[in-house]
Chain A
């Protein structure tokens, strides 16, 4: 069965610092991976997705993620955090049979001034 593990339920960084949110996946087939962001009291917004093209994926708002098969990881990074990045971030893998998304538990990102 496919699964996703997000390491760290809370991450706090200073404004301007590097953001690193960790995601590891388990999949017996080549995975399709997604990062979504959720602002308070809102739905999920797609940041980026990996669908077996380039291993370094660039997304919106300056975020990017690198697919590393050897480490079964798909960590999300942003070089310089902004106050507006404070939100909940979810990593997800798409089920290879039907396309349902299997989400991690989420990581809450706080940005300190």
Chain B
């Protein structure tokens, strides 16, 4: 069974640029959640995708957007990068069941560390 994978592992961008982060979910999982973890903080929820549809969004501006593909892999796009976007971005997959998302374990990937200069 393949776990959650993310690419790239590290990325350096400059302010104002755009970035795309990728996530492959664990085999059999249909739900992907993205989190931002700033240095020394707990992860903060960005958004969740269930069967290619957005299924909840945290308190992040619209320049954070996402996609989920038919194979349930996912992308996180961030436009107009700001210095405060520097963080570890974590993707988590789970087997989502409508009405029971809260019970399901989310399995995390290793993360993408983004540095914005």
> Judging by beta carbons under 8 Å apart, are A42 and B110 in contact?
yes
- Distance A96 CA – B90 CA, assembled complex (angstroms): 21
- Distance A96 CA – B101 CA, assembled complex (angstroms): 8
Question: Is the C-beta of B2 less than 8 angstroms from some C-beta in chain A?
Answer: no
Residue of A41, A42, A44, A51 contacting most chain B CB atoms (<10 Å): A44
Counting chain B residues whose Cβ lies within 8 A of the other chain, the interface size class is 20 to 34
Interface string of A92-113 (1 = CB under 8 A from B): 1011111111111110000000
Instruction: Write out the residue numbers on chain B whose beta carbons fall within 8 Å of the beta carbon of A96.
Output: 102
Counting chain A residues whose Cβ lies within 8 A of the other chain, the interface size class is 20 to 34
Q: Per a CB cutoff under 8 Å, which of A36, A98, A100 touches B108?
A: A36
Question: Is the C-beta of B42 less than 8 angstroms from some C-beta in chain A?
Answer: yes
Given contacts A43-B90, A43-B109, A44-B90, contact A101 B43 (CB under 8 A): yes
Question: Is the C-beta of A14 less than 8 angstroms from some C-beta in chain B?
Answer: no
Question: Is the C-beta of A45 less than 8 angstroms from some C-beta in chain B?
Answer: yes
Instruction: Write out the residue numbers on chain A whose beta carbons fall within 8 Å of the beta carbon of B103.
Output: 32, 51, 94, 99
Instruction: Write out the residue numbers on chain B whose beta carbons fall within 8 Å of the beta carbon of A102.
Output: 45
Interface string of B25-40 (1 = CB under 8 A from A): 0000001010100001
Instruction: Write out the residue numbers on chain A whose beta carbons fall within 8 Å of the beta carbon of B90.
Output: 43-44
Instruction: Write out the residue numbers on chain B whose beta carbons fall within 8 Å of the beta carbon of A32.
Output: 102-103
Closest 6 A-B residue pairs measured CB to CB?
A99-B101, A103-B42, A98-B56, A43-B108, A94-B102, A44-B108
- Write the residues of chain B forming the contact surface with A, with a CB cutoff of 8 angstroms: 4, 6, 31, 33, 35, 40-45, 48, 55-56, 58, 90, 92, 94, 96, 101-111, 113
A-B contact pairs, 22 of them (CB 8 A): A32-B103, A36-B108, A42-B111, A43-B6, A43-B109, A44-B92, A46-B107, A49-B105, A51-B103, A94-B101, A94-B102, A95-B56, A98-B48, A98-B101, A99-B33, A99-B56, A99-B102, A99-B103, A101-B35, A101-B92, A103-B43, A106-B40
- Write the residues of chain A forming the contact surface with B, with a CB cutoff of 8 angstroms: 32, 34, 36, 41-46, 49, 51, 90, 92, 94-106
